[in-house]
Amino acid sequence: MRRWGLPSARPRDLPGSPRPLFVLASGIFALILTMGVARFAYTPMLAYMQPQTGMGDALAGWLAGWNYLGYLTGVLVVTQMRDLMRKDRLYRLSLLLAVVTTAMMPLAECLPRMPLVDEAWIWGLSRYLAGLSTAGGLMLGSGLILHWLIRHGHRSELGLHFSGLGLGIVLGGLLVELAAPYTDWRGQWWLLTGVGGLLLIPAWGWLPRPNQGAPLTAGAGDTRGEPGPLWLWLLQAAYLCAGFGYAIDATFTVLITEQQPALSGQGGLMWLLVGLAAAPAPILWDRIARRWGYLRTLQVAYLLQLSGILLPVFSGTLAAAMASALLFGLTFIGIVSLVLTMVGLRYPAHPAQIMARLTVGYGIAQIIAPVVAGELAERRGSFDDSLLMVGAIMGLGLLCLVAMERVAGRGSRRRSGSGERA
């Protein structure tokens, strides 16, 4: 722990301090709730809602758009927040909102009809508020947990925490599929709501309030101090590029698979592989980052995701589709985990604000990428050109990471020179 300039005291040495495993577990349950249930369960649920409710592709797309808009709104709110206790209250409100918005989906058809208001509007409101809860669960939760780890002298890594995203994808998908033979789409949403209520208990109860110990200051997490503005702008550009890579695969993985003549009916399998690969990925990337450093590890993750994006362009086999899905699951959450952990280490006094600033660009890419890729695919008759376009964007992001390494090296030499002159 000395390499981060952190105190050596452990919470177990302090009476009444919670165990770090329980604090990390609270974050895992929160991500399963806000991401796996409130957000990602919508993807497999579409396969059942469309034939049973008559929902068209246009409405399905609009509902996804409202979810992204809610997420962006939440991120912008987080950028304006400084008070830790206020962040904690909003975070816990996000957990409650995740359960409520999940219940709104089946509840929409149970409410009395009102002029100009039908279930589509309620579904849209549900997805928008679910996006807000996702921003709170991801951005505020990650910042609060990292803050607690640093303040209490624990290794400041979020790999175990971010495994909740992959677990959420797997759990949400399994709940939807297992309930399908026994109930309709309403019953599936009610099952998700009930499980969400159970997840809320540890997510809420195991995270301590953030008002213990001395406040953190800039440089408390990383003895090198905060990097310069150019370093942060390059990271923001690289993360924007990663948003394009994420959005294409997260939106079209199933569709790209189903459009391959030899792979019809395998789309659901690909989505499950994404979740299975994503669950252990953040822990794996944490281990690699300890040896190679965060920037070098991010470069490897970008290169692997770029390879996974391009695989379906050059091969329509099941092996290529599976490899692409596994590489996406392995890298997309790894990239998020590595970037946000690195931000927490380099900006320990205000990590949530920097995380939110980066996530604004990432979120904008999530809105633009599916629209552009969908239009291009409709004109060309396949997603090949869309995947090539996104591959080029991910390559640009990789170049930004290489430039960051050079900027960091120059900064280190300048600080070393100043120390020698002093």
**Residue 113, domain CATH:** 1.20.1250.20
User: Within a domain: residue 168?
Assistant: yes
* CB 174, CB 32: distance < 8 Å: no
User: Within a domain: residue 135?
Assistant: yes
User: Within a domain: residue 8?
Assistant: no
* CB 37, CB 194: distance < 8 Å: no
Whether residue 161 is found in the same domain as residue 182: yes
Give residue 159's pLDDT: 73
Whether residue 405 is found in the same domain as residue 303: yes
User: Within a domain: residue 2?
Assistant: no
Total domains in the chain come to: 2
Whether residue 366 is found in the same domain as residue 391: yes
| Dihedral angle of Cα 124, 172, 68, 232, to the nearest 10 degrees | 160
* pLDDT tens, residue order, the chain (422 aa): 333 333 333 444 444 556 778 888 899 999 999 999 998 888 778 778 878 888 776 777 778 778 888 888 888 887 777 778 888 899 999 999 999 999 999 987 766 665 445 788 889 899 999 999 998 888 888 888 877 877 777 766 677 788 888 889 889 888 988 898 899 999 999 999 999 999 999 999 888 887 654 455 444 445 456 777 898 899 999 999 999 888 777 767 766 776 776 676 666 778 788 888 888 888 888 889 989 988 999 999 999 999 999 998 888 788 888 898 899 989 988 898 888 788 877 877 666 678 778 888 888 887 787 777 777 776 777 778 888 999 999 999 999 999 998 887 665 555 544 443 43
Whether residue 238 is found in the same domain as residue 143: no
Whether residue 285 is found in the same domain as residue 162: no
User: Within a domain: residue 9?
Assistant: no
Give residue 313's pLDDT: 87
Whether residue 163 is found in the same domain as residue 291: no
Give residue 3's pLDDT: 36
Give residue 254's pLDDT: 67
Task: Give CA–CA dist 348/352, Å, rounded.
Answer: 9
Whether residue 336 is found in the same domain as residue 405: yes
Give residue 52's pLDDT: 87
Give residue 345's pLDDT: 78
Q: pTM, whole model, 2 decimals?
A: 0.74
User: Within a domain: residue 25?
Assistant: yes
User: Within a domain: residue 1?
Assistant: no
Q: End of a domain among 196, 213, 230?
A: 213
Whether residue 237 is found in the same domain as residue 334: yes
* CB 159, CB 142: distance < 8 Å: no
Whether residue 249 is found in the same domain as residue 183: no
Whether residue 145 is found in the same domain as residue 60: yes
Q: End of a domain among 197, 213, 229?
A: 213
Residue 179's nearest CA partner among 190, 169, 170, 168 is 190
Whether residue 223 is found in the same domain as residue 321: yes
Q: End of a domain among 213, 246, 262?
A: 213
User: Within a domain: residue 39?
Assistant: yes
Neighbours of 121 (CB within 10 A): 12
Whether residue 208 is found in the same domain as residue 220: no
Give residue 210's pLDDT: 75
Task: Give CA–CA dist 137/87, Å, rounded.
Answer: 11
Domain that holds residue 285: 216-414
